[in-house]
Amino acid sequence: MATTNTQAVPLRTKRGISAGSIFSAIGRWIVRNRIYLIAFAIPAALTYLAYAIFGLYPFGEESVLCLDLNGQYVYYFEALRDAFWGDGSIFYNWSRNLSGEFMGIIGYYLASPFTLIVMLLPEKFMLSSLLIMQLCKVGAAGVTFNYFLQKRRNVQPYPSLLFSTMYSMMAYMVIQLIDPMWLDGLVFLPLIMLGIEYLVDDGRRLNYIIPLALMCVANFYIGYMICIFVALYFFFYLLAGSDKKRKGYDYFTAIVRVAYSSVIALACAAFMLLPVYNALKLGKFEFTDPDYSFRFQSFPLSQKLLENAQDSPLLVLLCDLLDMFPQLLPAQYDSVNVQGKPEIYCGLLTLVLLPLFYMNKKINWKKKLGYTALIVVMVMCMLITPVDMMWHGGQVPNWLPFRYSFLLSFIFLTMAATAFANKDGIQKKHLLGSTGVMVVIIAIVAGLKFDQMAKGAVWISAALMGIYLILLYFMIGGKLTEGKRGVSIALTTMMLVMVGGEATYNAVDSMKDIDDEVAYSTRASYQNYVQNGRAAADMLEEKDDGFYRAEKTFFRCVNDNAAFGLKGISHSSSVMNTRVINFIETMGYCM
């Protein structure tokens, strides 16, 4: 009888994905992206530490509410959250003036993707939600800049944390926590610049179109400023920043490519840009009567020196340039009022590395010339008043001047990171040149600062710069680090600790100075007020849900009604309806 050999075949059964495989995949993803996670965690944690030292609840009585965040945005967040959960509409709001469109307010103040954090968390945790949103924006800016440096400036993963921390905790970021709608600019800017460089070098367009469209949706105002910078940065990179060799026709192709890609990005954002534009036409465009006559900014130094002298434009310009030097150092907060100076501090390590960028033999002269031209253009835009007005939409900003100053910090940090990534092109003798520049800067700032506390901060800055120069001395070549990865990591870690400590010191000082100038609100002053006001509005709605107008005999802000859900009259926002406001005044109510 014939026999056949049979081989056992294992049965295949359908199985779901096991929990172990999910955790394993998550673990691999965390390990693969650990630098980006750290780039997020460091500035977010340090910003929260600064808040804690300052006295934010539960470490004190303060809340995150200050200036516009206290007087405007928090109420709009309350109204949008109600609409998000079905108690209202994203298109129309009954709590503003005599009611009106809501999309303009959303586009002007609330369209950031980070707003979803506030929408999803419980209403009673509004202040905590705003804090989490702020910290997420700070951390996300660290991630995007870190990504940009690794992909386009060849900065090694671990050292890249130095620059992402300085970027996400620059003076602009810390001070504008009181205006969180503008912080999306710092998150998307590195991705947009990355997209420009890809577009110029190899024609990739989506890397540029998507982040630019998202930026214009998130906040059209900062998006408008970034669009101006896009034009400047595009020509800089095309003519001087790119290493790729190209012929005459290639320049034309790149210009056409960036032009239609920009149009596509704006078209993708049109669903938000058009409602905002229509809302601004109701009165914001005529809010001021701008003076476009040529003149330079009048900073305190130029005012003081020119009191008894004939006005000389060149002398004013020189004084204004000198008056900007203190803004390069930490703990030199100026003001958020109209007389304030640009917020350009972005780390002392950046300041130390900038001279080394120019001395670095591995960086070609075209890039040095191009970056210099970019800096000169940005500084002159800040100092020439009518040009500065155009950056702000054709008007003098009402408080919070130089709202595009983060762009100059981006340039400084990119140059510093480029110098660090090519540190084998730096010789130890170059550190003497950097030391000389730092001595000059400290001497200028110390001479301008008459307040003893401010002078103390200047000497702290001098000590920190000295430490950075010493650490750089050991990191640049030599037997100490050659082939010794552990020593290199140790020196970078020491530098990272110093950078983090300096950033936290600046953040705490800025928060205290802001509190002195415009005051943070306590948590209880908002939390209890809104809860009681909502309860009263709900009781009124239960008694009469008809069509009527109501106002209060108690007051915190003209935007209280938006938080209460009350069909009131009072309201304040940048997307105002002038005709309605004038009618309310004619009826005898406060406008």
Q: Which of the two residues, 584 and 73, has the higher pLDDT score?
A: 73
Across the chain, how many H-helices and E-strands are there? 26, 4
| Position 2 confidence tier, pLDDT thresholds 50, 70, 90 | very low
| β strands within 23-156, DSSP E | 62-66, 92-93, 100-101
Q: Which of the two residues, 484 and 326, has the higher pLDDT score?
A: 326
pLDDT average, residue stretch 506-533: 95
Q: Which of the two residues, 97 and 211, has the higher pLDDT score?
A: 211
* pLDDT surpasses 80 at 108: yes
Predicted local confidence at residue 7, as pLDDT: 52
Q: How far apart are the C-alpha atoms of 94 and 109, rounded to whole Å?
A: 18
pLDDT average, residue stretch 102-118: 95
* pLDDT surpasses 50 at 1: no
pLDDT average, residue stretch 69-88: 94
Predicted local confidence at residue 448, as pLDDT: 83
Residue 221: enclosing H or E segment and its boundaries?
Answer: helix 220-236
Over the stretch 159-171, which tens digit does the pLDDT of each residue have? Answer: 999 999 999 999 9
| β strands within 344-487, DSSP E | none
Q: Phi/psi of residue 384, each to 5°?
A: -90, 110
pLDDT average, residue stretch 142-151: 98
* pLDDT surpasses 60 at 4: no
Secondary structure of the chain: what % helix, strand, coil (to 5)?
Answer: 65, 5, 30
| Position 452 confidence tier, pLDDT thresholds 50, 70, 90 | low
Say which amino acid occupies 172.
Answer: Y
Over the stretch 119-143, which tens digit does the pLDDT of each residue have? Answer: 999 999 999 999 999 999 999 999 9
CB 461 within 8 Å of CB 509: no
CB 56 within 8 Å of CB 49: no
Q: What mean pLDDT is reported for the chain? A: 91
CB 236 within 8 Å of CB 281: no
Q: How far apart are the C-alpha atoms of 477 and 427, rounded to whole Å?
A: 8
Q: How far apart are the C-alpha atoms of 147 and 365, rounded to whole Å?
A: 26
* pLDDT surpasses 90 at 309: no
- The percent of residues in the chain predicted with pLDDT above 70, rounded, is 94
Over the stretch 156-208, which tens digit does the pLDDT of each residue have? Answer: 999 999 999 999 999 999 999 999 999 999 999 999 999 999 999 999 999 99
pLDDT average, residue stretch 217-243: 97
pLDDT average, residue stretch 28-32: 92
* pLDDT surpasses 90 at 379: yes
pLDDT average, residue stretch 305-322: 75
Q: How far apart are the C-alpha atoms of 418 and 357, rounded to whole Å?
A: 7
Q: Hey, is 86 helix, strand or coil? A: coil
Q: How far apart are the C-alpha atoms of 214 and 212, rounded to whole Å?
A: 5
Alpha-carbon torsion angle 241, 244, 245, 246, nearest 10 = -90
Tokens encoding 215 = 């930026």
Q: How far apart are the C-alpha atoms of 565 and 96, rounded to whole Å?
A: 10
Predicted local confidence at residue 487, as pLDDT: 86
* pLDDT surpasses 90 at 579: no
Q: Phi/psi of residue 63, each to 5°?
A: -120, 180
pLDDT average, residue stretch 9-26: 69
